[in-house]
Amino acid sequence: MTFDVIRFRENFPALTASTVYLDTAATALKPAAMISATDDYYGKNTANAYRSLHQPAQQATQKIEQTRQLIAQLINASDADQIIWTKGTTESINLVAQTYAKMHLKPGDEIIVSELEHHSNLVPWLILAEQTGAKIIKWPLNQACQLDKQTFQQLLTAKTRVVAMTQMSNVTGYQPHLAEIVRLTHQHEAIIVVDGAQGIVHAPIDVTTLGIDFYAFSAHKLYGPTGLGILYVKPSHLTQMPVWQGGGKMLKTVSFEGFEPQPLPAKLEAGTPNIAAILGFHATLNWLKEWDRSAAEQHALALAQLAEDKLIQFRGFQSYRDPDSPILSFNLDQIHHSDIAILLAEQHIAIRTGELCAQPLIKKLACTGVIRAAFAPYNTQQDVEQFIEAMAYAIDILS
């Protein structure tokens, strides 16, 4: 299968000739299939799931469970019951920290967090360390801004309980060698929590073969709706997950003496789920099957490379892009990233600048923030040209 960018673009009503969208790492644009499924739910088939017997309610319930199946297939989980709905990656990681991890941590235990992490995979662990007396251990990046095995082996101790690791940096696009990291983590009888927010979009993940303990991602980064997150839980941890939030749908019986929770996943899904988002994601995942994702990724990569090759012409250009990354973060010497952000926004070029919710990594890169152009399969060579022209114009205004 080859990748037809023109046909792919036709699926995205938000794409217009006047705007260049290079902010996909923040959130992906949405395909018509997703929008129409969400519209249909709100416009024609509104109903709550799991409760009522009228047809729209039954349909919603079935589709929610089908979506779990689709996600299990996507990440190669062995059973749909390992898939838990949350609000997003952030909530998924907080959930792990406040349930399974909290239960197993005692004062002096260690949580290894890489220097690459987005705040979503650092702050929940800092909070947990405060609550439990555990210690946060930084896994520093090497000179090439990558993680090396030797350093990791030195950091792993008998006290290591948790390793928090990204599948792909939202700043540099670097993808750590997960298989090796999981193997070493398990050798020390620790668990690994993987933030897949960026990674899920760019590379297939096989949670079963890798043996990942917990895997978190958000629907909105993968062309899906906002407000929907996924937490995958390794089968051996399923029975050990304590309750998190109390409410409807998560229990079998309740009285003033106590309650008996449902088994997972319902146990961790108190209240009405984000039905519209799940139905929208159902449509998104089915739509995604029509495309060769590897070819789509190669297309985005080529555009990032092309943009980088063209940006070199600007004085003081410094790239932070990891090879093989469609995410291009960079800076220009003597020009503040926020000035570029303003002047590109004026020219309808959507990019992101600043610390990108990864302050420790930005500090490591020895800058105050970066300019990030994130290329996606729906971008074109024309987008690259417009972006470079807009950059040249912004630099001219600032001179």
Partner 1 sequence: MPNLNMTLPELFDLFAQQQNWQARYRQLIHLAKLLPAFPQADKIARYHIAGCENNVWLKTERVADHTFQFSGDSDSRIVKGLLAILITLAQGKTAAEIVNMPFKQQFQQLKISEGLSESRLLGLDKLIVYLIDSVNYSL
- Which residues does the annotation mark as catalytic? 357
- Contact present, 124 and 85 (Cβ < 8 Å): no
397 binds partner 1 (CB under 8 A): yes
List the one residue from 243, 302, 306, 342 that touches partner 1 (CB under 8 A).
342
C-alpha–C-alpha distance, residues 40 and 318, integer Å: 47
Residue 372 pairs in a beta bridge with 329, 352
Least distance from partner 1 to the Cβ atom of residue 344, Å: 11
C-alpha–C-alpha distance, residues 230 and 124, integer Å: 17
Binding mask 157-186 for partner 1 (x = CB under 8 A): ------------------------------
Among 131, 31, 27, 173, smallest CA distance to 88 is for 27
Task: Read off the tokens for 178.
Answer: 């997960």
Determine the interface stretch with partner 1 among 78-86, 150-158, 330-338, 357-365 (rule: CB under 8 A). 330-338
Least distance from partner 1 to the Cβ atom of residue 394, Å: 9
Task: Read off the tokens for 64.
Answer: 């929610």
Determine the interface stretch with partner 1 among 23-31, 94-102, 161-169, 342-350 (rule: CB under 8 A). 342-350
Our CA angle for 15, 275, 374, nearest 5°, is 30
List the one residue from 336, 350, 367, 395 that touches partner 1 (CB under 8 A).
336
343 binds partner 1 (CB under 8 A): yes
Task: Read off the tokens for 119.
Answer: 């705040």
Least distance from partner 1 to the Cβ atom of residue 399, Å: 8
346 binds partner 1 (CB under 8 A): yes
- CB count, 10 Å around CB of 312? 9
According to DSSP, the β-strands at 160-166 and 110-114 are parallel
C-alpha–C-alpha distance, residues 166 and 196, integer Å: 6
398 binds partner 1 (CB under 8 A): yes
Binding mask 354-373 for partner 1 (x = CB under 8 A): x-------------xx----
- CB count, 10 Å around CB of 97? 26
Determine the interface stretch with partner 1 among 35-43, 53-61, 171-179, 390-398 (rule: CB under 8 A). 390-398
Question: Which positions lie near partner 1, rule CB under 8 A?
Answer: 335-336, 338-339, 341-343, 345-346, 354, 368-369, 393, 397-398
